[in-house]
Amino acid sequence: MPKSDFEPEIVYEGIPASPGIAFSLIHVMARGFSAPEVYEISASEIASEQQRFEEAIDVTKKQLTELRNRLEVLAGNDEQAIFEAHIMLLEDRAVVDRVTDAISSRQQNAEFAFYAVMQNFLEAMRRIPDPYLRERTADIEDVSQRVLRNFKLGEDIRQLVPDGRHILVAYDLSPSDTASMNRRHVMGFATEQGSVNSHTAILARALGIPAVVGLDGAVIDIKTLAPAILDGYTGKLILYPSAETQEHYRELSERKEKVRSALDAMREVATKTIDGRELTVSANIELVDELSLVKSCGAKGIGLYRTEFLLLNGEEMPGESEQADVYSRIAETMAPHPVIIRTLDAGGDKLPVEPLTDPEPNPFLGWRGIRVSLARPDMFRDQLRAILRASGKGKVSVMFPLISGLSEVRKGREMLKRCMDELHEEGVPFDPKLPMGIMIEVPSAAVCADLLAPEVDFFSIGTNDLIQYTVAADRVNPHVAELYRPTHPAVIRLIKRTIEAANDNGIWTGVCGEIAGDVRLTPLLIGLGVEELSVGPLQVPRVGQAIRSLNHVECEEMANLALTKGNSQVILDLSLDLAKANYADLLD
């Protein structure tokens, strides 16, 4: 990646969201509409590209004039005024001159220069407090798309880079955007919005994509095709990196690769503490495509399959047979290891199961998790029957999300029993002793865990939601991000209470939230009595080695001391000190 002779090194500071280092060219993806092809042009091509822009504008104005005249006949003056406004935008000399200048200064093709200018304009408008002006962005997007369609492209279209690889810069990315990324092309991404605890960041970590969030102004300021290094460890995006910077990051990458290789060599070794306490390290997955990665990382099963990602293929959940095929494939691939399939967990900051006529005022406290399934019994029945059918092909468990009390558990079990009876009548094979567990992610569930434990076969603590609900801090809101503290005294007390209730009733407890993969906190979780940790596939080797490096008795003593402390940082430091003493090389 050569350094530009004309551009000084520029460092953007954000929040590290997914570890790793990426070297590539930048591709900026702004909101509203897709970016056109982008390629460099020579100085001799500037005039012809400016001419192409003018021709595209002229064609668009003629189209809009025809539409305006046709609508005037059909609908009168009010509606045709929309197209009049679009034509005025295309005649605005400020817009035209900025695009013409951008073609010259960027030395990039005309359609991309137009796209970049319009997206900067749109981003500026989106940040204006006036709601009327913000709503006008839809009109600008519409006319901009029309102009892009009217460019006369030559036969020789030069690609972003020969192999398509790039570092993606965007205002924000949804979980579906992240899950559907072409991982051969996207080397890493940086966004203006988001937090380290968002589902987008969680997915990036699971997929092994370096990511940085919280880069203010990135979409407007950063130029596509700029050479860059993305540092997912410290949260930096470095444009036009110097030779010294490039060498530093190459050496860092090599060191990280050596650590990773050493961990891979240990993946088949049992995850026991030095004094013999064995923990299960499982994998969280979203997509069937991740199964090969799970098999190669040494995970002893799947501790969380997020079925809401089946919604990526359409606006509603697939039918029973299609779901059964997916679940069966996972069960067969992972056999003899167990697979925990979580029923649909839609809503909140996750994929929606169906469009709502009115936006929820507070979706995190709204229609999500088990509430959606119980409100849609036909859909719930299809999913439970599909899970049961898969249980005939491997070691499968079912888990209900966002349980807040006893009635939801019993309603879920009743529906499961009904589905078992139906399949038995139909002669369809399934596991009649299918284990049923619940997510402990709502404080009310943790507080009454002693009442819930006799009703289920296991607990899985979803710390992502448990933390945000306990401390009343939206985990994807950067304004309150510093309040989202995994080691808050209330959080670790709720975890301990949950584990004790499980132990008293002879069931096991796992953790499938993000803190399960944070090796700074592995000593604390072991000390609190967790029996299973379910993490992103790429985190499995690291967590396994952390467990093998610790002494359970020491962890328990530290956790008991932590439970007496009233400060989050003090508790974190207690766990971190034990981690540093035993596996400093695993800490990023």
CATH of the domain at 451: 3.20.20.60
Question: Which whole-number Å values give the CA distances from 423 to 88, 328, 339, 344, 376, in the listed order?
Answer: 65, 16, 21, 21, 20
Compute the distance between CA of residue 459 and CA of residue 298 in angstroms, rounded to an integer.
23
Compute the distance between CA of residue 185 and CA of residue 170 in angstroms, rounded to an integer.
15
What is the helix, strand, coil percentage profile of the chain, to 5?
55, 15, 35
83 and 175 part of one domain: no
234 and 285 part of one domain: no
pLDDT band at 554 (very low <50, low <70, confident <90, very high): very high
Query: Is 362 annotated as contributing to ligand binding?
Result: no
The per-residue pLDDT for range 192-215, each reduced to its tens digit, is 887 776 767 877 887 788 999 988
- Residue 266 inside a domain? The answer is no
Q: Are 535 and 281 in contact (CB under 8 A)?
A: yes
Compute the distance between CA of residue 468 and CA of residue 348 in angstroms, rounded to an integer.
12
For residue 531, give the nearest of 335, 306, 300, 332 by alpha carbon: 300
Residue 471: pLDDT above 50?
A: yes
Sorted by sequence, the CB contacts under 8 Å of residue 229 that are 6+ apart come out as 1, 21, 22, 23, 236, 237, 238, 241, 245, 246, 249
Q: Which of 3-12, 38-47, 269-278, 309-318 has the highest mean pLDDT?
A: 269-278
Compute the distance between CA of residue 521 and CA of residue 535 in angstroms, rounded to an integer.
13
* CATH (domain of 81): 1.10.274.10
> pLDDT value at position 354?
59
- Residue 239 inside a domain? The answer is yes
Compute the distance between CA of residue 97 and CA of residue 330 in angstroms, rounded to an integer.
56
Which amino acid, residue 508?
W
Query: Is 421 annotated as contributing to ligand binding?
Result: no
Our count of domains for the chain comes to 3
Burial of 186 from C-beta contacts in 10 A (0-12 / 13-18 / 19+) = buried
184 and 301 part of one domain: no
235 and 293 part of one domain: no
Residue 85: pLDDT above 80?
A: no
> pLDDT value at position 162?
42
209 and 245 part of one domain: yes
Q: Are 87 and 68 in contact (CB under 8 A)?
A: yes
| 53-57, 439-443, 526-530: least confident range | 53-57
- Single residue among 121, 149, 177 that ends a domain in this structure: 149
- Single residue among 258, 293, 316 that ends a domain in this structure: 258
Average pLDDT, integer, range 281-308 = 91
What range defines the domain where residue 249 resides?
10-35+159-258
Summary mean pLDDT of the chain = 86
Compute the distance between CA of residue 494 and CA of residue 296 in angstroms, rounded to an integer.
34
Query: Is 134 annotated as contributing to ligand binding?
Result: no
Query: Is 464 annotated as contributing to ligand binding?
Result: yes
- Residue 280 inside a domain? The answer is yes
- Residue 546 inside a domain? The answer is yes
- Residue 4 inside a domain? The answer is no
174 and 202 part of one domain: yes
Query: Is 306 annotated as contributing to ligand binding?
Result: yes
The per-residue pLDDT for range 496-550, each reduced to its tens digit, is 999 999 999 999 999 998 899 999 999 999 999 999 999 998 899 999 999 999 9
The per-residue pLDDT for range 557-576, each reduced to its tens digit, is 999 999 999 999 999 999 99
The per-residue pLDDT for range 130-169, each reduced to its tens digit, is 565 555 676 777 788 788 878 854 333 333 444 578 999 9
DSSP three-state, residue 477:
coil
> pLDDT value at position 350?
55
- Single residue among 115, 149, 183 that ends a domain in this structure: 149
281 and 231 part of one domain: no
> pLDDT value at position 161?
43
Average pLDDT, integer, range 13-17 = 90
- Residue 383 inside a domain? The answer is yes
412 and 276 part of one domain: yes
59 and 190 part of one domain: no
- Determine what percent of the chain is predicted with pLDDT higher than 70: 86
- On the CB side of 366, CA atoms within 13 Å amount to 15
294 and 324 part of one domain: yes
- Residue 2 inside a domain? The answer is no
Query: Is 221 annotated as contributing to ligand binding?
Result: no
Catalytic residues: 199, 512
250 and 310 part of one domain: no
322 and 187 part of one domain: no
Please give the structure tokens belonging to residue 144: 């901009």
- Residue 154 inside a domain? The answer is no
